[in-house]
Amino acid sequence: TNAAPVAFDNPIIRYDTADPTNQKGEIIYTADPAAMVVDDTVYLYTTHDEQFVDGEGYRMYDYRLWTSTDMQRWENKGTVLRYSDFDWARGDAETGNAYAHHVIHRKDESGKSRYYFYATVEGGQTDGEFGFAIGVGVSDSPEGPFTDPRGIPMIRLEDTAEYKDHSWRNIDPAVFIDDDGKAYLYWGNQQLWWVELEPDLVHLKGEQYTVDATGNMQNRDTSDVKIHAVDTLPNFEEAPYVSKHNGIYYLVYAAGFPESIAYATSDSATGPWRYQGVIMPPIENTTTIHPAMFDFNGNTYLAYHSAQLPGGGSYRRSVCIDRVYFNEDGSIKDIVRTSG
Ligand code: FUB
C-alpha cells in the first residue's frame, strides 16, 4: 500500500471525467465536501456549482460522489441525489437550491449496511413560502438511489415560526454517531443547532438546542428552544462538522464572512464547546469554505473548498483536501494548504 500523502494536488476535483487521475475532461465545480469512510474507502460527497455564466447566486441541482482508497486517485461516481428526488423540494430550473449535505453509514440489526443522506433543499413549508429545509434519503448503497422515507422534511423553517426572518437558517446538516450509538444532527446558519436523532436516524428525538455566535439568542424569542451556550462559538456562520479523535470531540465550522475555518472541542457530543481558534484563514476568491474533518487509515484530513479552478469564484468552487496535525494537548495545528 502507498504511504499517506502529505501534500495534495488541490483542488482534488477538477474534471467531470471517468479518469481517476482527474487531469482531463470538462471542468466541474464542486463544493461543501462531506466525507464518509467505510472499510478501505473514502466516500467524498460534494455539492455541484453550475454557475457557468457571469452572475450572482448559486445554481445547484445535484450531489456528486467521488471515492478513493489512497487519497490521491478519485473515482467519479457521478450524481447520486438530486434536489428533485425530494417530492417537497421547491427548487426550480433557475436555482435548484441543493445546498450542503452529509452522508453517514450504519449497519442495521441484521448487519446490513444502510446509508443516510441528509440534504439541504428549499421547500417543504405548508404555506409555500421560501425557506430552506433539511431532508433525508436512505439507501442500501453508498451510490444510491436514496429514497425519502418520510416524504416530508426533518426540519423546516416553519417549525420555529419566529425564525421566518432568516430563510436559510436550516442549512448544512452534519450527523455524528457517538460510541454509545446515540446520533446527533447539527446544522445552522449564524447559530449552531443540534438535536438527538431517534435510532431510525430519520426522526428527531428530543428538544432542539441552539447556541449562536455570541453565546446568546440576540433578543429572539427562545420559548421553544433550549440555549446550550456555556461557552461561545465566535463568528459561527455555518457548516458545522463533528468528529472524534483520540477521545476528544471536535466541532469544525465556517466562521465570519468571508469564511475562515474555526473549531471548538468538547468532552461530549452535546457540548459544552470550548472555542479553540481559527485553523485556516479565508481563501482568496471565495466567500465560503465549508470544512469536514475525518480520519482515514490512521491519519486525519480536512476537506474544504477553494475557488481556484479557471473561472472559479464564490459560486464556482472546488473541493480541496489537506492533512490535519494535532499538538499533544489535542489542539489542531494551523492547516498548511499544500496547493490550490
Ligand atoms: O453551497 C451552498 C452553501 O454555501 C452551503 O450550504 C454553505 O455551507 C456554503 O458553502
Q: What distance in Å separates the CA atoms of residue 265 and residue 274, rounded to the nearest whole number?
A: 5
Indicate which atom in ligand 1 lies nearest the CA of residue 238: 8
pLDDT tens digits, one per residue of 66-77: 999 999 999 999
3-state secondary structure of 158: helix
Ligand 1 neighbour 47 (Cβ under 6 A)? yes
Burial class (CB in 10 A: 0-12, 13-18, 19+), 120: buried
Atom 9 of ligand 1, nearest CA residue: 288
Ligand 1 neighbour 261 (Cβ under 6 A)? no
DSSP class per residue in 222-249: -TTSEE--SS--TTEEEEEEEEEETTEE
Task: With CA atoms as reference, report the closest residue to 243 among 67, 65, 102, 69.
Answer: 102
Tell me, in angstroms, the distance from the centre of ligand 1 to residue 95's CA: 13
Tell me, in angstroms, the distance from the centre of ligand 1 to residue 325's CA: 26
pLDDT at 326: 98
Q: What distance in Å separates the CA atoms of residue 168 and residue 189, rounded to the nearest whole number?
A: 7
**Cell numbers 474507502: residue:** 41
pLDDT at 163: 58
DSSP class per residue in 264-306: EEESSTT---EEEEEEE---TT-S----EEEEETTEEEEEEEE
- Report yes or no: 279 and 270 within 8 Å, Cβ to Cβ: no
Q: What is the block-wise mean pLDDT of the chain (340 residues), using blocks of 10 residues?
A: 86 89 86 98 97 77 97 95 95 86 96 97 88 96 98 85 73 98 93 91 86 50 45 84 98 94 94 91 96 98 96 94 98 94
Q: What is the ipTM of this complex?
A: 0.98
Residues 6+ apart with CB under 8 A from 94: 59
pLDDT at 52: 62
Tell me, in angstroms, the distance from the centre of ligand 1 to residue 50's CA: 14
Indicate which atom in ligand 1 lies nearest the CA of residue 289: 10
Ligand 1 neighbour 324 (Cβ under 6 A)? no
Atom 8 of ligand 1, nearest CA residue: 239
Atom 1 of ligand 1, nearest CA residue: 99
Q: What distance in Å separates the CA atoms of residue 73 and residue 9, rounded to the nearest whole number?
A: 10
pTM of the model as a whole = 0.94
Compute CA distances 11 → 4, 61, 116, 307, whole Å: 17, 21, 26, 8
Ligand 1 neighbour 31 (Cβ under 6 A)? yes
pLDDT at 20: 73
Q: How many CA atoms lie within 13 A of 273 on its CB side?
A: 34
Ligand 1 neighbour 104 (Cβ under 6 A)? no
pLDDT at 51: 74
